[in-house]
Structure 1
Amino acid sequence: MPETGTTETWDYTLYIPNDLRAVTVCRRTLRVILAMHELTALADTAELLATELVSNAVRHTKGPAALRVRRSSEGLVWIGAWDTDPEPPEPPVPLGRALEAEEGRGLGLVVACAEYWGWQPSARFGDRGKYVWCELPAC
Protein backbone atom coordinates (compact mmCIF):
# COMPACT_ATOMS: atom_id res chain seq x y z
CA MET A 1 0.00 0.00 0.00
CA PRO A 2 1.24 3.55 -0.67
CA GLU A 3 2.18 5.78 2.22
CA THR A 4 -0.52 8.15 3.45
CA GLY A 5 -0.47 11.39 1.49
CA THR A 6 1.36 9.96 -1.54
CA THR A 7 -0.07 8.90 -4.86
CA GLU A 8 0.70 5.36 -5.92
CA THR A 9 2.20 5.20 -9.41
CA TRP A 10 2.14 2.20 -11.70
CA ASP A 11 2.54 1.32 -15.37
CA TYR A 12 1.18 -1.66 -17.34
CA THR A 13 1.61 -2.51 -21.02
CA LEU A 14 -0.34 -5.24 -22.78
CA TYR A 15 1.05 -6.21 -26.20
CA ILE A 16 -1.60 -7.53 -28.55
CA PRO A 17 -1.79 -9.03 -32.03
CA ASN A 18 -3.65 -7.34 -34.85
CA ASP A 19 -6.88 -9.15 -34.05
CA LEU A 20 -10.22 -7.54 -33.16
CA ARG A 21 -10.66 -10.09 -30.35
CA ALA A 22 -7.73 -8.38 -28.61
CA VAL A 23 -9.98 -5.37 -27.96
CA THR A 24 -12.04 -7.48 -25.54
CA VAL A 25 -8.86 -8.75 -23.86
CA CYS A 26 -7.71 -5.14 -23.40
CA ARG A 27 -11.07 -4.02 -21.97
CA ARG A 28 -11.17 -6.82 -19.44
CA THR A 29 -7.51 -6.40 -18.50
CA LEU A 30 -8.01 -2.68 -17.96
CA ARG A 31 -11.00 -3.33 -15.70
CA VAL A 32 -8.93 -5.75 -13.59
CA ILE A 33 -6.05 -3.26 -13.33
CA LEU A 34 -8.36 -0.50 -12.14
CA ALA A 35 -10.10 -2.80 -9.65
CA MET A 36 -6.76 -3.95 -8.22
CA HIS A 37 -5.79 -0.31 -7.67
CA GLU A 38 -9.19 0.62 -6.19
CA LEU A 39 -10.15 2.86 -9.10
CA THR A 40 -13.40 1.15 -10.10
CA ALA A 41 -15.16 4.53 -10.30
CA LEU A 42 -13.13 5.16 -13.48
CA ALA A 43 -13.76 1.74 -14.99
CA ASP A 44 -16.68 2.51 -17.31
CA THR A 45 -15.17 5.67 -18.81
CA ALA A 46 -11.66 4.19 -18.99
CA GLU A 47 -13.01 1.05 -20.66
CA LEU A 48 -14.88 3.12 -23.28
CA LEU A 49 -11.79 5.19 -24.06
CA ALA A 50 -9.42 2.21 -24.18
CA THR A 51 -11.87 0.37 -26.46
CA GLU A 52 -11.93 3.29 -28.89
CA LEU A 53 -8.14 3.72 -28.89
CA VAL A 54 -7.33 0.01 -29.23
CA SER A 55 -10.05 -0.56 -31.84
CA ASN A 56 -8.54 2.19 -33.98
CA ALA A 57 -5.07 0.69 -33.55
CA VAL A 58 -6.22 -2.77 -34.65
CA ARG A 59 -8.60 -1.69 -37.43
CA HIS A 60 -6.37 0.82 -39.16
CA THR A 61 -3.01 -0.93 -39.12
CA LYS A 62 -1.59 -4.28 -40.15
CA GLY A 63 0.95 -4.87 -37.37
CA PRO A 64 0.88 -5.54 -33.65
CA ALA A 65 -0.46 -3.05 -31.12
CA ALA A 66 -0.27 -2.33 -27.41
CA LEU A 67 -2.41 -0.91 -24.63
CA ARG A 68 -0.56 1.06 -21.97
CA VAL A 69 -2.19 2.13 -18.72
CA ARG A 70 -0.39 4.08 -16.04
CA ARG A 71 -1.06 6.27 -13.04
CA SER A 72 1.08 9.34 -12.56
CA SER A 73 2.25 10.86 -9.30
CA GLU A 74 -0.19 13.71 -10.04
CA GLY A 75 -3.09 11.24 -9.80
CA LEU A 76 -3.90 10.99 -13.50
CA VAL A 77 -4.68 7.70 -15.22
CA TRP A 78 -3.09 7.70 -18.67
CA ILE A 79 -4.47 5.29 -21.29
CA GLY A 80 -2.63 4.90 -24.57
CA ALA A 81 -2.78 2.66 -27.62
CA TRP A 82 0.30 2.11 -29.76
CA ASP A 83 0.05 1.00 -33.38
CA THR A 84 2.40 0.60 -36.35
CA ASP A 85 1.09 3.53 -38.41
CA PRO A 86 3.32 6.58 -37.85
CA GLU A 87 0.76 8.94 -39.42
CA PRO A 88 -1.29 11.14 -37.08
CA PRO A 89 -4.84 10.04 -36.35
CA GLU A 90 -7.67 11.63 -38.30
CA PRO A 91 -8.98 14.75 -36.53
CA PRO A 92 -11.81 13.93 -34.13
CA VAL A 93 -15.35 14.45 -35.33
CA PRO A 94 -17.38 16.71 -32.98
CA LEU A 95 -19.41 14.53 -30.62
CA GLY A 96 -22.82 15.65 -31.96
CA ARG A 97 -21.93 14.47 -35.46
CA ALA A 98 -19.93 11.51 -34.18
CA LEU A 99 -22.92 9.98 -32.40
CA GLU A 100 -24.89 9.99 -35.67
CA ALA A 101 -22.04 8.53 -37.77
CA GLU A 102 -21.54 4.85 -38.55
CA GLU A 103 -17.75 5.19 -38.25
CA GLY A 104 -15.25 7.71 -36.98
CA ARG A 105 -16.77 8.31 -33.54
CA GLY A 106 -13.81 7.02 -31.55
CA LEU A 107 -11.72 10.13 -31.10
CA GLY A 108 -14.87 12.27 -30.71
CA LEU A 109 -15.77 10.16 -27.67
CA VAL A 110 -12.21 10.40 -26.37
CA VAL A 111 -12.25 14.20 -26.69
CA ALA A 112 -15.64 14.39 -24.94
CA CYS A 113 -14.76 12.07 -22.05
CA ALA A 114 -11.07 12.60 -21.33
CA GLU A 115 -9.38 15.43 -19.48
CA TYR A 116 -6.69 15.61 -22.19
CA TRP A 117 -5.77 13.59 -25.25
CA GLY A 118 -3.10 13.62 -27.90
CA TRP A 119 -0.75 11.55 -29.99
CA GLN A 120 2.98 11.20 -30.39
CA PRO A 121 5.34 9.27 -32.67
CA SER A 122 6.75 6.17 -31.01
CA ALA A 123 8.42 2.86 -31.87
CA ARG A 124 7.87 -0.64 -30.50
CA PHE A 125 8.84 -4.07 -31.77
CA GLY A 126 11.35 -2.32 -34.05
CA ASP A 127 8.44 -0.70 -35.94
CA ARG A 128 7.77 3.00 -36.27
CA GLY A 129 4.34 3.94 -35.10
CA LYS A 130 2.42 6.22 -32.78
CA TYR A 131 0.76 6.38 -29.40
CA VAL A 132 -2.69 7.91 -29.15
CA TRP A 133 -3.41 8.65 -25.51
CA CYS A 134 -5.81 10.26 -23.09
CA GLU A 135 -5.84 11.18 -19.41
CA LEU A 136 -8.47 10.84 -16.70
CA PRO A 137 -8.23 12.33 -13.21
CA ALA A 138 -8.11 9.54 -10.63
CA CYS A 139 -8.46 11.75 -7.55
Structure 2
Amino acid sequence: MSENWCYALRLPHSVHSARVARMTVRAALTSHGMRELLDVTELLTSELVTNAYRYAEGPASLRLRALGEGRLRVFVWDTNPYVPPPFDAPAPTGAPPPPVPPPADATQGRGLLLVRQYADAWGAWPLGGDRLGRSAGKLMWFEVGGAGARRPGVAA
Protein backbone atom coordinates (compact mmCIF):
# COMPACT_ATOMS: atom_id res chain seq x y z
CA MET A 1 0.00 0.00 0.00
CA SER A 2 1.48 3.34 -1.00
CA GLU A 3 1.09 6.00 1.66
CA ASN A 4 0.61 9.21 -0.36
CA TRP A 5 -1.12 9.49 -3.70
CA CYS A 6 -3.59 11.75 -5.49
CA TYR A 7 -6.10 11.24 -8.29
CA ALA A 8 -8.11 13.95 -10.03
CA LEU A 9 -11.11 13.51 -12.29
CA ARG A 10 -13.03 16.14 -14.23
CA LEU A 11 -16.76 15.38 -14.28
CA PRO A 12 -19.19 16.76 -16.85
CA HIS A 13 -22.53 18.18 -15.76
CA SER A 14 -24.24 14.80 -16.18
CA VAL A 15 -26.61 12.62 -14.24
CA HIS A 16 -23.98 9.87 -14.62
CA SER A 17 -21.22 11.78 -12.80
CA ALA A 18 -22.00 10.38 -9.35
CA ARG A 19 -21.75 6.83 -10.68
CA VAL A 20 -18.44 7.56 -12.42
CA ALA A 21 -17.15 9.14 -9.20
CA ARG A 22 -18.13 6.04 -7.18
CA MET A 23 -16.40 3.78 -9.70
CA THR A 24 -13.27 5.93 -9.49
CA VAL A 25 -13.29 5.81 -5.68
CA ARG A 26 -13.72 2.02 -5.77
CA ALA A 27 -10.84 1.55 -8.21
CA ALA A 28 -8.45 3.87 -6.37
CA LEU A 29 -9.13 2.58 -2.85
CA THR A 30 -9.06 -1.07 -3.93
CA SER A 31 -5.79 -0.55 -5.83
CA HIS A 32 -4.15 1.14 -2.85
CA GLY A 33 -5.28 -1.36 -0.22
CA MET A 34 -7.77 0.97 1.49
CA ARG A 35 -10.88 -1.21 1.16
CA GLU A 36 -11.87 -0.52 4.79
CA LEU A 37 -12.73 3.05 3.72
CA LEU A 38 -14.60 2.05 0.59
CA ASP A 39 -18.26 2.06 1.69
CA VAL A 40 -18.20 5.35 3.56
CA THR A 41 -16.06 7.07 0.90
CA GLU A 42 -18.31 5.91 -1.94
CA LEU A 43 -21.42 7.11 -0.10
CA LEU A 44 -20.06 10.52 0.87
CA THR A 45 -18.43 11.14 -2.51
CA SER A 46 -21.70 10.28 -4.21
CA GLU A 47 -23.54 12.79 -2.03
CA LEU A 48 -21.15 15.65 -2.80
CA VAL A 49 -21.03 14.90 -6.54
CA THR A 50 -24.82 14.60 -6.68
CA ASN A 51 -25.13 18.01 -5.03
CA ALA A 52 -22.68 19.44 -7.56
CA TYR A 53 -24.87 18.12 -10.37
CA ARG A 54 -28.13 19.30 -8.77
CA TYR A 55 -27.09 22.79 -7.70
CA ALA A 56 -24.39 23.87 -10.18
CA GLU A 57 -24.78 24.35 -13.90
CA GLY A 58 -21.26 23.51 -15.00
CA PRO A 59 -18.75 20.71 -14.63
CA ALA A 60 -17.35 19.41 -11.38
CA SER A 61 -14.05 17.88 -10.30
CA LEU A 62 -13.22 15.07 -7.91
CA ARG A 63 -9.87 14.76 -6.18
CA LEU A 64 -8.84 11.86 -3.94
CA ARG A 65 -5.75 12.41 -1.79
CA ALA A 66 -4.21 9.81 0.50
CA LEU A 67 -2.68 11.63 3.45
CA GLY A 68 -0.74 8.71 4.91
CA GLU A 69 -1.47 6.65 8.00
CA GLY A 70 -4.70 5.33 6.42
CA ARG A 71 -6.31 8.76 5.99
CA LEU A 72 -8.07 9.93 2.85
CA ARG A 73 -9.34 13.37 1.90
CA VAL A 74 -11.90 13.78 -0.88
CA PHE A 75 -12.50 17.13 -2.57
CA VAL A 76 -15.40 18.02 -4.87
CA TRP A 77 -15.27 21.30 -6.77
CA ASP A 78 -18.28 22.78 -8.58
CA THR A 79 -19.20 26.07 -10.25
CA ASN A 80 -21.79 27.23 -7.71
CA PRO A 81 -20.23 29.54 -5.07
CA TYR A 82 -22.98 28.92 -2.48
CA VAL A 83 -21.74 26.89 0.50
CA PRO A 84 -24.76 25.18 2.08
CA PRO A 85 -25.21 24.45 5.77
CA PRO A 86 -23.68 22.75 7.69
CA PHE A 87 -20.58 23.36 5.53
CA ASP A 88 -20.97 27.15 5.78
CA ALA A 89 -19.64 27.07 9.36
CA PRO A 90 -16.27 25.80 10.57
CA ALA A 91 -16.11 22.08 11.26
CA PRO A 92 -16.61 21.40 14.95
CA THR A 93 -13.79 20.22 17.14
CA GLY A 94 -14.32 17.04 19.09
CA ALA A 95 -17.57 15.17 18.67
CA PRO A 96 -20.06 17.18 16.63
CA PRO A 97 -23.65 17.46 17.84
CA PRO A 98 -25.98 15.01 16.11
CA PRO A 99 -27.31 16.31 12.79
CA VAL A 100 -30.93 17.39 12.60
CA PRO A 101 -32.64 15.13 10.05
CA PRO A 102 -35.13 16.47 7.54
CA PRO A 103 -38.83 15.59 7.95
CA ALA A 104 -39.59 11.92 7.30
CA ASP A 105 -41.51 12.74 4.10
CA ALA A 106 -38.71 14.92 2.63
CA THR A 107 -37.30 13.70 -0.68
CA GLN A 108 -33.96 15.47 -0.25
CA GLY A 109 -31.80 17.12 2.39
CA ARG A 110 -29.97 14.14 3.87
CA GLY A 111 -26.73 14.11 1.86
CA LEU A 112 -24.72 16.74 3.71
CA LEU A 113 -26.03 15.45 7.02
CA LEU A 114 -24.58 12.05 6.09
CA VAL A 115 -21.25 13.67 5.34
CA ARG A 116 -21.33 15.47 8.66
CA GLN A 117 -22.25 12.29 10.53
CA TYR A 118 -19.84 9.83 8.91
CA ALA A 119 -16.79 11.90 7.93
CA ASP A 120 -14.02 12.40 10.44
CA ALA A 121 -13.54 15.98 9.25
CA TRP A 122 -15.26 18.15 6.62
CA GLY A 123 -15.37 21.67 5.29
CA ALA A 124 -15.82 23.96 2.31
CA TRP A 125 -14.40 27.11 0.78
CA PRO A 126 -16.01 29.55 -1.65
CA LEU A 127 -13.34 30.27 -4.26
CA GLY A 128 -13.94 33.92 -5.08
CA GLY A 129 -14.05 35.16 -8.63
CA ASP A 130 -12.21 36.77 -11.50
CA ARG A 131 -11.87 40.42 -12.58
CA LEU A 132 -15.16 40.18 -14.49
CA GLY A 133 -17.10 39.14 -11.39
CA ARG A 134 -17.53 35.51 -12.43
CA SER A 135 -17.44 33.04 -9.57
CA ALA A 136 -14.82 30.31 -9.37
CA GLY A 137 -17.32 28.13 -7.49
CA LYS A 138 -16.59 26.26 -4.28
CA LEU A 139 -14.57 23.37 -2.97
CA MET A 140 -16.18 20.95 -0.51
CA TRP A 141 -14.19 18.22 1.20
CA PHE A 142 -14.29 15.46 3.77
CA GLU A 143 -11.73 13.22 5.42
CA VAL A 144 -12.03 9.61 6.57
CA GLY A 145 -9.71 7.01 8.06
CA GLY A 146 -6.63 7.08 10.19
CA ALA A 147 -6.01 6.07 13.77
CA GLY A 148 -8.62 8.39 15.31
CA ALA A 149 -11.30 7.76 12.71
CA ARG A 150 -14.93 7.32 13.66
CA ARG A 151 -16.58 4.29 12.15
CA PRO A 152 -20.22 4.12 11.06
CA GLY A 153 -22.37 2.99 13.95
CA VAL A 154 -19.70 3.84 16.53
CA ALA A 155 -20.04 6.92 18.73
CA ALA A 156 -17.18 9.39 18.55
Counterpart of 2:101? 97
Give how far 1:104 is off: 1.0
Query: How far apart, CA to CA, are the structure 2 residues paired with 1:134 and 1:95?
Result: 16
1:75 touches 1:138 (CA, 8 Å); kept in 2?
yes
Q: Mark the runs of 5 or more structure 1 residues left unpaired by the alignment.
A: 3-7
Deviations 1:77-116 (A, max 9, x none): 0011100011212337x64524833211111000000001
Q: Give the root-mean-square deviation of aligned CA atoms.
A: 2.2
SS at match of 2:126: strand
Over alpha carbons, which structure has the higher Rg?
Answer: 2
2:82 and 2:69 mapped to 1: Cα distance? 30
- Matched ranges for 1:46-85 at <5 A: 46-73=41-68, 75-85=70-80
2-structure distance, mates of 1:58, 1:36: 27
Aligned equivalents of 2:83, 2:100: Cα separation in 1:
23
Greater percentage in helix: 1
Q: One-letter code of the match for 1:58?
A: Y
TM-score, normalising length: structure 1: 0.84
CA gap 1:27/1:122 in 2 versus in 1, 3 angstroms = same
- Other-structure match for 1:117: 122
- Aligned to 2:137, the other structure's residue is in SS state strand
Q: How many residue pairs are counted as aligned between the two chains?
A: 131
CA deviation vs aligned residue, 1:8-27 (integer Å, no higher than 9, x gap): 11111110101011110110
**Contact 1:95 1:105 survives alignment (8 Å):** no
**Structure 1 counterpart SS, 2:127:** strand
Higher share of residues assigned strand: 1
Of all paired residues, the percent bearing the same amino acid is: 40
